[in-house]
Amino acid sequence: MRKAVSMDSILVRGGKTLHGQIPIAGAKNACLTLMPATLLSDEPLTLTNAPRLSDIKTMTQLLGSLGAEVTSMQGGQVLAASCHGTINTRAEYDIVRKMRASNLVLGPLLAREGHAEVSLPGGCAIGARPMDIHTDGLTKMGAEIDLRDGYLHAKAIGGHLKGAVIDFPFASVGATENIMMAATLAKGTTVINNAAREPEIVDLATCLRAMGAQIDGDGTSRIEIQGVDRLHGATHRVVTDRIELGTYMLAPAIAGGEVELIGGRIDLLAAFCEKLDAAGISVTETENGLKVKHDTGRTKAVNVTTEPFPGFPTDLQAQMMALLCTATGTSVLEEKIFENRFMHAPELIRMGANIDVHGGTATVTGVDKLKGAQVMATDLRASVSLILAGLAASGETRVARVYHLDRGYEQVVSKFSGVGADIERITDS
C-alpha cells in the first residue's frame, strides 16, 4: 500500500555536462493565491499554465472542503474552479497545517461571507511565520479577529469589510495578497502602503481585474483597490515560475554546459541574473526564453543578501549556495526574510563544502569539488539545492525525503535528465 507521504529518494551521479532545453512551468506561488480568488465570485475561474504539484492538490482539497470545486484538466495544466451558493467558512487544521499558503483563503472568505474561521498554520521548518500583518490589515478594514482553539475567528462588523489605509510594517507577500483579495469586495477604497511587489502579486491583480476588480499600483509599493459589488468569471494564464526558472538556470552554472530555459524572462529575476553575471555565468535572452552557458571551470565568489522583490529571492538562496560551494574565494550569504533558512548548510558540509553559519549569515569558502553523499533536507528549496550540488559532485548523491520536492517542482527527474543529467527516483518499497 502506498504511504500518504512519499519517502522516495533521488539518486544523482555527478559529472555530466548539461545541454538542451527545459520548459519552465507556471508559478506555484502565483497559482496558490489565484485559486482562492475563486471564492470571490459565483462564476467560474479558469487558470491555464497551472503547475502539476502536490501543493496545488492540497489547495484543491482545501477549497473543496469549503464548498468550491476545482477540476483539473489537460493533465493538470488547466484548473477550472467554481464556487456558487452557500459555502463553509471553516478552514480545518488538518489541511492548513500542511501548507502555509492555506491562509490565503482568509481574505476571500471574509469578503464573501462576512466571517471566517481559519486554522493558524503553525510552525514550519524555515521559521515561525506569524500572521499579524494579515490580521492587523483586516482589523483596519473592520474585522474583529480572535484566536481561539488554534483558529482565527474573523467577523466583519456589520457584515461587510470596508476600505481602509493600511501601512504594512514589512512587505509581506501573503498579507498583500489576502488584503488585496478582501478589498476587491469591500465597501470603499483600500490603500496598501509598503505592499509586496513580487510578480505573483501583479499576476493576482491581473486576474482579479479580469474578474472585474478595480486595482491600481500592483508591482509598486502602493496598491489601491476600489471595492465593487461583485466579481465575475474569468480565464487567466499563470505567470512563469521564477523560482523554478532560477533553479534550472543554476544547473548548467554548476555542472557546466548550455541550457535554454523555455519561457524564462530576465525581468522576473533581475537581481539573481546580476549575481550570476558577477559569478562569471553567461545569461542571454533567446526567442523562447533564456540561455545559460558555463564551462566546467570554477565560478567566482559573490555576496548575496535576500530581500523582498526586486531583491534577491529567499527562495533561491539555498540553490545559490550550492553554486558558491565550489567558487574561487569566499562568499557571504545573508538571509533577511526567514530566521532559520540554512538547514541545507550542514548537508552541503557533508558533501565537503566549507560553510560557517552564524545567525542569519553563512560564509562559504569555495572548495575544488564536492563529493557525493547521502543527504536529506527539511524543505523544498533546500532539497533541490542538494540535487544541484550533486550534479557536479564526484560519485553518487542520494537525496532523501523527496516529498518536499513534489510540493514545488513538477517532473523534476525528467527535466534534469532531459538535458543529460544522470538522475533517477528510487521508489521506497
Of the two residues 372 and 408, which places its CB atom closer to ligand UD1 in the complex?
Answer: 408
Of the two residues 161 and 380, which places its CB atom closer to ligand UD1 in the complex?
Answer: 380
Residue type for position 278:
A
Minimum distance from CB of 136 to ligand UD1 (Å)? 8
CB atoms within 10 A of CB 109: 25
Of the two residues 136 and 274, which places its CB atom closer to ligand UD1 in the complex?
Answer: 136
Q: Are 62 and 105 in contact (CB under 8 A)?
A: yes
Q: Supply the DSSP symbol for 371.
A: B
From the candidates 124, 207, 273, 325, which is the catalytic residue? 124
Of the two residues 18 and 243, which places its CB atom closer to ligand UD1 in the complex?
Answer: 243
Minimum distance from CB of 144 to ligand UD1 (Å)? 17
Residue that is written with C-alpha cell 533546500 in the block: 382
Those residues with Cβ within 8 angstroms of residue 216's Cβ, 6 or more apart along the chain or in another chain: 223, 224, 225
Of the two residues 127 and 329, which places its CB atom closer to ligand UD1 in the complex?
Answer: 127
Backbone angles phi, psi at 59, to 5 degrees: -65, -35
Minimum distance from CB of 399 to ligand UD1 (Å)? 20
Of the two residues 131 and 215, which places its CB atom closer to ligand UD1 in the complex?
Answer: 131
Greatest Cα pair distance, the chain, in angstroms, is 66
Minimum distance from CB of 97 to ligand UD1 (Å)? 14
Residue that is written with C-alpha cell 542538494 in the block: 386
Of the two residues 132 and 146, which places its CB atom closer to ligand UD1 in the complex?
Answer: 132
For residues 71, 76, 80 and 85, what is the CA-based torsion angle, rounded to 10 degrees? 40
Task: Identify whether 325 is a catalytic site residue.
Answer: no
Using DSSP, state whether 231 is helix, strand or coil: strand
Of the two residues 366 and 408, which places its CB atom closer to ligand UD1 in the complex?
Answer: 408
Minimum distance from CB of 105 to ligand UD1 (Å)? 12
The span from the CA of 40 to the CA of 62, in Å, is: 15
> What is the residue-wise DSSP string for 242-297?
HHHHHHHHHHHHHH-EEEEEET--GGGSHHHHHHHHHTT-EEEE-SSEEEEEE-SS
Backbone angles phi, psi at 39, to 5 degrees: -70, -15
The span from the CA of 325 to the CA of 310, in Å, is: 25
The span from the CA of 145 to the CA of 302, in Å, is: 45
CB atoms within 10 A of CB 262: 15
Those residues with Cβ within 8 angstroms of residue 189's Cβ, 6 or more apart along the chain or in another chain: 163, 224, 225, 226, 227
What is the binding site for ligand UD1 (CB under 6 A)?
29, 32, 100-101, 127-134, 170, 172-175, 200, 314-315, 337-338
Q: Are 186 and 231 in contact (CB under 8 A)?
A: no
Residue type for position 293:
K
The C-alpha cell at 240 is 512563469
- Positions annotated as catalytic residues are 124
